[in-house]
Amino acid sequence: MFWQMLIGALVRQRRRMFMIALTVALGTSLTTAMLNVMLDVGDKVNRELKAYGANITVVPKAASVLRDLYGIEANSGASAQYLAEADLGKLKTIFWAHNIVTFAPFLETKAVLGQGSDEVVLVGTWFDRSLELPTGEVAETGIKPLKSWWQVEGDWVQDNDSEGAMIGSQLAGKLGLKTGDDLDITVAGGEGKERLKIRGIVNSGSAEDDQVFVPLSVAQKAMNLAGKVGRVEVSAITTPENELARRAAHNPKSLSLKEWETWYCTAYVSAIAYQIEEAVGGSRAKPIRQVAESEGVILQKTQLLMLLITVLSLIGSALGISNLLIAGVMERSKEIGLLKALGATDAVILWQNLAEAVTTGIMGGAIGYFCGLGFAQMIGRSVFGSAVAINTMVIPLVIVLVILVILAGSIPAVRMLLSLRPAEVLHGR
């Protein structure tokens, strides 16, 4: 009898039930979309913030002070002053390897261009290189992905192009050079002259505009430093720093074992730097505060903003659903009055109504969930150009929320229902 009444009610009041299902579906799709976007927005924005370039620099342990302070270039091949190029692949083997977006090695020296011009900085680097890792994966590395704000007139140099060079826009302007010109380079202290061709002109709006960029192998040959690298810039996705991370950055040994584990297994910039030091022998990894700190600030703000917007939309849809349920009960007050007059108990009427609401709600919710996924993907695709990760955690969350909202939304409706007096309702007041 219960089932018959339930099905009967659902079929007979198609229109009303359709409305409830529609509202629940709308609410659910909103919830699903917002929760999915909110949970993924940190990662997405973090990737966008990689536009600011490296947030960690790796330098050789011994060289950092000497070279920076005195400008000394020890060309004697003292190995402690350089990192090994062969070690670079190890960057992608650390615990947080997946968080390392890209990196590029640099080997700098002073050089003279042409006939007795001023000394300029010659930088050997990887431009755009697919590095094969020991694990068999391929990592995109080099300055092209790392320095996304560079404007290049002409072409990027190929890494296997032993004659190619790129030159900063300021320097090019000063010397009157343009793409396609030849460039004679004499490395400071070296005797050999290298003849290179300018493939492109770089406009970066910083000191790089006064530098010359060549493939790493060319610089290594000119400086007689085969397989050596002076510095590596790493761009990594990190978690905003907290008190623990700050303490660890000063001295990791000051942490208790448990704290240390937490720190080590969280993608703090200091933890990633620490792991890089472990992986690459004789290196020192320093977080670049300008990038790392600002990233943290912006990420936290964005996440908080999205969280608050999500909460607002949840409250909005909850109120919407519960509102509609109340309207539904009002509409049927006569029918309920009749049931009561015929001797139905409150419990029976209650069950009847809740069952109706939940059945419609579940149907609406299921449809809404998939619509919500669609909305989330739409946002991800059009804003970030990549799909939003579908978080399975959202499913139980949405189910619980929908049922809670329907039940909570029914409370005023149920109270109204129980207080209905058959005679009054049937009389039409």
Partner 1 sequence: MTKYSMYSKMIIHALLRRRSRMIVALLAIAVGATVLSGLITIYYDVPRQMGREFRSYGANLVFIPAGSSQALAEQDIDRAAGLLPRDKVIGIAPYLYERVKVNEQPIMAAGTKFQEVKKVSPYWQIRGKWPAEKSSGVVIGQEVAEFLKVEPGQSITLAAGDGTEQKVTVEGIVRTGGNEENFVFVDLPLLQKMLKKEGQISVGQVSIMATEAELAALSKNVETQVTGVSPRLVKRVTQSEGMVLGKLQALVYLVTIIILLLTLICAATTMMAVVTERRKEIGLKKALGAENRSIILEFLGEGLALGGLGGIIGTVLGFFFAQAVSINVFGRAIDFQPFIALVAFVVSITVSGVACMIPVKIATDVEPAIVLRGE
Residues 407-426 that bind partner 1 (CB under 8 A): 416
List 27, 142, 168, 337, residue binding partner 1 (CB under 8 A): 27
Which range touches partner 1 (CB under 8 A), out of 3-11, 43-51, 217-225, 258-266?
Answer: 43-51
Judged by beta carbon, residue 64 or residue 93, the one nearer partner 1 is 64
List 32, 35, 40, 52, residue binding partner 1 (CB under 8 A): 52
Which range touches partner 1 (CB under 8 A), out of 48-56, 74-82, 135-143, 348-356?
Answer: 48-56
Residues 202-241 that bind partner 1 (CB under 8 A): 203-206
List 9, 17, 35, 45, residue binding partner 1 (CB under 8 A): 45
Residues 64-83 that bind partner 1 (CB under 8 A): 64-65, 68-70
List 166, 248, 292, 339, residue binding partner 1 (CB under 8 A): 292
Binding of partner 1 by 377 (CB under 8 A) = no
Q: How far is the CB of 188 from partner 1 (least distance, A)?
A: 19
Cα–Cα distance measured from residue 429 to residue 417, given in angstroms and rounded to the nearest whole number:
15
List 120, 152, 166, 379, residue binding partner 1 (CB under 8 A): 379
Q: How far is the CB of 287 from partner 1 (least distance, A)?
A: 5
Is the CB of residue 227 less than 8 Å from the CB of residue 88?
no
Residues 312-371 that bind partner 1 (CB under 8 A): 312-313, 316-317, 319-321, 323-324, 326-328, 330-331
Q: How far is the CB of 421 from partner 1 (least distance, A)?
A: 15
Q: How far is the CB of 232 from partner 1 (least distance, A)?
A: 13
List 72, 138, 308, 404, residue binding partner 1 (CB under 8 A): 308
Judged by beta carbon, residue 37 or residue 216, the one nearer partner 1 is 37
